[in-house]
Chain A
Amino acid sequence: MSINATLLGQMITFALLVLFTMKYVWPPLMQALEERKKKIAEGLAAADKGKQDLENAEKRAKVLLKEAKDQAAEIVNLAQKRANDLVDESKDAAKQEGERIVAAAKAETDREVQAAKEGLRKQVSTLAIAAAEQILKTEVDQNKHKEVLQDLKKQLG
C-alpha cells in the first residue's frame, strides 16, 4: 500500500490518456454533436418555413379562386344578356316575317276575291241576260228592246 514509482507510471499513463482524449476523442464527437444540433435546428426552421409557405399559398389560392368565381359570374351574366338580346332580336324578326307573310297572304286573298267577284259578276250578267232572253224571246223583239238589254247588260257588268 506504499507510495512508490508506480505513482509516476500512473501519472504518465493518465497524462497520455487525457492528451489523446483531448486530441482524438473529444473534438470529433463534439463536432458531430454540434453539427447534428445545427441540422436539427435547420430542419425545424425549414419545416416552419414550409408551413408559412403553405399558408401563403392557401391564401393566394383563395384569392385566385374568388377572382375566378367573380369572373365566371360576370361571363355568365354577359352571356345571359347576350342570349336575351338574341331572343329579343329573333322574336322581332319572326314577328316581322309573320306580319309580312300575313300581309302577303291577305293581298293574295284580296286579289283572288276580286278575281272571283269579277268572274261571278260576269257569269251573273250572262245568266241574267240568258234568263231574260229566254223570258223575252217570245214577246220581245230583239231589235226593239236592244237598248234596254244593252243598258241592263251594262248595269250588271
Chain B
Amino acid sequence: MATEAHSPEGATGYIIHHLTPLATGEGFWTLHLDTLFFSVVLGAVFLVLFMKAAEKATSGVPGPLQNFAEMLVEFVDTQVKDSFHGRSALIAPLALSIFVWVWLMNFMDLIPVDLLPSIGKAVGLSYLRVVPSTDLNATFAMSISVFALIIFYSVKVKGPIGFAKEMLLTPFGPWMIPFNLLLKLVEEIAKPISLGLRLFGNMYAGELIFILIALLPWYIQPALSLPWAIFHILIITLQAFIFMVLTIVYLSLAHEDH
C-alpha cells in the first residue's frame, strides 16, 4: 500500500532494505530494536486498552470499550472451554493476550509499507521493519514460551515419572524405547517450530507481496494493494486465531493423563 517511489538502489535493494531490521550488537547478542520497540508498544496498547476496560467493568450496561473487551474475552473463553477441560487460571488469559498481541503485530502489515520507514529515515534510522511478526525472534519467542508451558504442565500433571513413561513407552511399548523417544521428541519439538514458522511464514510472505506491489507503477498499485490488503485483514485475524487455538489445544493435551 505504498505510494513512495523506489529507492535508488533498484528493486532488489528496495526489498532488502525493507526486510532488514534495525539492529544493534554483534553475533548472538544482536537486538532487533524495531521488533522489540513495536511489540512492546503494541503490547502496551493492548494492556492499556483492556486494563481500562477491566477497571471500569460493571455488571450493568457496558460502555463501548467494555463491550469490545468483553466480546473478545467471551470469544476466547468459548474457545478455551471448547477444547480445554479442567480449570486453569493461566490458559484463558494467555490465549487472550496471544490473540490480541499477535493480531496487533500482524496489523502493522496493513500500514503502508513505506510510511513508517520514511518517517524513520527522517529521524535518522537507516532501517525499520515495522511488522514484528515477520521477525522469527518474535514468533519463536511466543512458541518457545508456549512450549515451555507445555513441558511444565506435562510434568506437573503427569508427574516426572508419568511424563517419562509417556516419552519412552508410547506408542510402541517397552521394546521400542529408543524409537519411541525419537518419535516423541520429534512430535513435541514440531509443536513450537510449526507454531512459530506458520505465523512467521504467513506474515513474511504477506509483507513481501506488499513490498512487491509497492515496486509497481503508482497507477497499478491501488488495483493490487487494495484487494491484497482486504484479503490480509482475513489472514492476520486467521493467523492470530490459529496461534491461539493451537496454544490452547497443545496445553490441553499436556493436561491430559493417559
Query: Which residues of chain A have a CB within 8 Å of any CB of chain B?
Result: 1-11, 13-18, 20-22, 24-33, 35-36, 38-39
Contacts and interface: CB of A to CB of B under 8 A. Distances in A.
Interface of B: 19, 25, 27-32, 35-36, 39-40, 43, 46-47, 50-51, 53-55, 57-60, 62, 66, 69-70, 73-74, 77, 89-90, 92-94, 96-97, 101, 132, 135-138, 140-142, 144-145
B47 A6 contact: no
A3 B137 contact: yes
Contacts of B27: 4
Nearest to A37: B59
A14 B58 CA distance: 28
Contacts of A5: 25, 28-31
Nearest to B69: A29
Given A17-B47, A24-B51, A32-B70, A11 B141 contact: yes
A78 to B, nearest CB: 61
B144 A7 contact: yes
A3 B57 contact: no
Contact of A17 (B57, B66, B97): B97
Contacts of B132: 10
Contacts, number: 129
Contact of A4 (B32, B57, B101): B32
Given A2-B30, A14-B145, A35-B59, A22 B89 contact: yes
Given A17-B47, A29-B53, A32-B59, A7 B97 contact: no
Given A17-B101, A24-B54, 9 more contacts: A4-B29, A4-B30, A6-B30, A6-B35, A6-B141, A9-B141, A18-B94, A21-B97, A32-B66
Given A17-B97, A18-B97, A29 B141 contact: no
B47 A25 contact: yes
A4 B30 CA distance: 6
B39 A10 contact: yes
A9 B144 contact: no
Nearest to A36: B59
B32 A29 contact: no
B87 to A, nearest CB: 12
A22 B98 CA distance: 12
Given A5-B28, A18-B94, A26-B93, A10 B74 contact: no
Given A14-B141, A20-B47, A25 B96 contact: yes
Given A6-B35, A13-B43, A22 B28 contact: no
Nearest to B141: A10
Contacts of A11: 141, 144-145
A73 B147 CA distance: 87
Contact of B145 (A15, A29, A33): A15
Given A4-B31, A15-B145, A26 B73 contact: yes
A29 B30 contact: no
A94 to B, nearest CB: 82
Contacts of A3: 136-137, 140
Contacts of A36: 59-60
Nearest to B36: A9
